Amino acid sequence: MGGPGPGSVALITGGTGGFGRALTERLRASDVTVVLADLDTPTARTTAADLGAHFVPLDVTDRAANRAVVEAVEGEHGRLDAAFLNAGIAGRPEGLLDVDDFLRVVDIDLLGVVYGTEAVLPALRRAGGGAVVVTASLAGLSPMPGDPGYSVAKAGAVAFVRSMAPRLAGEGITITAICPGFADTAIIDPIREHFDAAGFPVLTADEVAAAMEAAWTAGEPGAAYVVQPGVGALPYRFQGVPSAKTAAGETARLPSALLPPSAR
């Protein structure tokens, strides 16, 4: 798998937000062609132009639109080497459980990742391999009591990455997840004053972007990288679960038919 450099092409969904802007600056410094996909607004288009990136409108909840964006990227730039599935929103914390809000968050933060992955895989195969980097969250590893929709969506994104990784590894495609703690982006604006009052450290967008870029160049398949202030990016070590035992007390092995080809 290659990394950022002249001739390579990267797609970033939710690309005109804080993480997307910081990542674009890093990738453009390596002469990567960057395509930012986001909701179509004058601000989004201006942001992309100011960063020296291309812009394509995209609602990540639209499955067909995800495929159309990838087709447009290949049609204009000839290839796709990395996809950063970064679009996401937080839920509204009001009330005990707002199911409509819950489903809206899951639709964007989880299904948007699934649709995006489906769309980019054929292009990455045609490029001879590449990387999918999913923006998950620390909430996907340690759920937030105040935002169940966000926690479920991000936990689902981590599980999706871990499940897909062995299926893709044999094709030269690496899929990883980035799990930042609280970061200095618009998503914390409604609660920013509480962090300021408590002196709680928050990540800069560039710290997260650095982890995203590193996941492209050297990510371990299926890894979930925790990113925290003062710590940097570290792969999360998932605790194992007890294995089934046979009648003879030996560790039972899954039937090979249930395993991806690379693990048989």
Domains annotated on the chain, with CATH: 9-263 (3.40.50.720)
Q: Which of 115, 150, 225, 236 is catalytic?
A: 150
User: What pLDDT score was predicted for residue 238?
Assistant: 92
Concerning whether 150 is annotated as a catalytic residue, the answer is yes
User: What pLDDT score was predicted for residue 75?
Assistant: 97
User: What pLDDT score was predicted for residue 167?
Assistant: 93
Q: What is the mean pLDDT of residues 10-24?
A: 97
The H or E element containing residue 160 is: helix 148-169
Tokens, residue 142:
């340690």
User: What pLDDT score was predicted for residue 245?
Assistant: 86
Closest CA to 112 of 154, 144, 148: 154
* Alpha carbon 31 to chain centroid, angstroms: 22
Local confidence band at 197 (pLDDT 50, 70, 90 cut-offs) = low
Q: What is the pTM of this model?
A: 0.91
How high does pLDDT run on average in the chain?
91
User: What pLDDT score was predicted for residue 183?
Assistant: 74
157: pLDDT strictly greater than 80: yes
Query: What SS3 state is found at 141?
Result: coil
Residue 230 identity: G
User: What pLDDT score was predicted for residue 189?
Assistant: 61
Q: What is the mean pLDDT of residues 120-145?
A: 96
Matching residue, tokens 């809000």? 101
User: What pLDDT score was predicted for residue 252?
Assistant: 82
